[in-house]
Amino acid sequence: MVRDVINLKSKQERSEETKKNILNAAKKLFMTYGYESVTIRQIAKEAGCSHTAIYLYYKDKESLLHHLVMPLLQLLSQQMKNIIQLNEMDDWTKLKRLCSSFITFCLHHKSMYSTFMTASASRVDEEDPRLQINNVRIEIFQLLMQTLENALGLSDPRQSLAFARVLFYNLHGVISTYIDNKEPLEDLTERLSSTFDLSVEAMLLGLREIKKQGGKKDESRTNF
């Protein structure tokens, strides 16, 4: 049972290699051109197989993306946890660092971000990648909310939720404004990072102000 070591592989090796080639090709192309622009046939060409071979290993095009997204989301989550665990940093600064880091990461991984944002709360079975993505999404949201609570001294869970949601809108607004931007990320960041920071700073200061005024917002609403 000696195989010719030049280029013959066992069936298992071939299938595993093909599977990996497909995923790597998809990763490369999605990162370069964005998920929607990339066709299955392009991925197949890059992977060196037929476009229909892809369906032997992955359910569909979207499934490819999900397989790529989970590790990235876990990386993001871990990155955020690392920031939170920095002991020499106060909560306010942690919160700002979290937001800034979130924006940068998501702009680096735009397809991932689109999946992150569209994974819905639909009822899916345990194996469905969307459920897993949704779980990480919730985890990330919780990390942000908790740090927000700490930084602003929030105690009402409903207020925490509203504040965190609003902060998420803000981050989402920044990221999604540039999600289809074709400019190199370095140029974009150089041009706009101070504006991104301004956005985060303003939102956090505003939330702190509302916390300080505790309930004044509702009164101003009544006076309409």
Partner DNA sequence: TTATATTATAACCAGTGGTTAGTAACCAAT
Partner DNA sequence: ATTGGTTACTAACCACTGGTTATAATATAA
Residue 28 interacting with DNA (CB under 7 A): no
| Closest residue by Cα to residue 60 from 129, 108, 116 | 129
Tokens for 71, please give them: 């590790």
Give the interface size with a second copy as a residue count (CB under 8 A): 34
Contact in structure between 103 and 180 (CB atoms under 8 Å): no
Residue 202 interacting with a second copy (CB under 8 A): yes
Tokens for 79, please give them: 């990155």
In the region spanning residues 58 to 87, those forming contacts with DNA, defined by CB under 7 A, are 60-62
Of 34, 45, 53, 159, which lies in the binding site for DNA, with binding defined by CB under 7 A?
A: 53
Stretch that binds DNA, among 15-23, 26-34, 122-130, 169-177 (CB under 7 A): 15-23
| Closest residue by Cα to residue 59 from 116, 121, 130, 111 | 130
Task: Find which of a second copy, DNA, none residue 62 binds, CB within 5 to 8 Å per kind.
Answer: DNA
Tokens for 105, please give them: 């990461």
Task: Find which of DNA, a second copy, none residue 41 binds, CB within 5 to 8 Å per kind.
Answer: DNA
Residue 25 interacting with DNA (CB under 7 A): no
Residue 38 interacting with DNA (CB under 7 A): yes
Tokens for 117, please give them: 């944002």
CB-based burial label for 24 (10 Å; 0-12, 13-18, 19+) = middle
Of 31, 33, 34, 40, which lies in the binding site for DNA, with binding defined by CB under 7 A?
A: 40
Of 6, 10, 155, 194, which lies in the binding site for DNA, with binding defined by CB under 7 A?
A: 10
Stretch that binds a second copy, among 12-20, 47-55, 140-148, 201-209 (CB under 8 A): 201-209
Q: How far apart are CA 127 and CA 72, in angstroms?
A: 18
Tokens for 154, please give them: 């929030």
Contact in structure between 162 and 199 (CB atoms under 8 Å): no
Work out the end-to-end distance of the chain between its first and last CA atoms, rounded to an integer number of angstroms.
Answer: 85
Residue 91 interacting with a second copy (CB under 8 A): no
In the region spanning residues 10 to 49, those forming contacts with a second copy, defined by CB under 8 A, are none
Contacts with a second copy by CB under 8 A lie at 93, 117-118, 162-163, 165-166, 168-174, 176-177, 180, 194-195, 197-199, 201-207, 209-210, 217, 221, 224
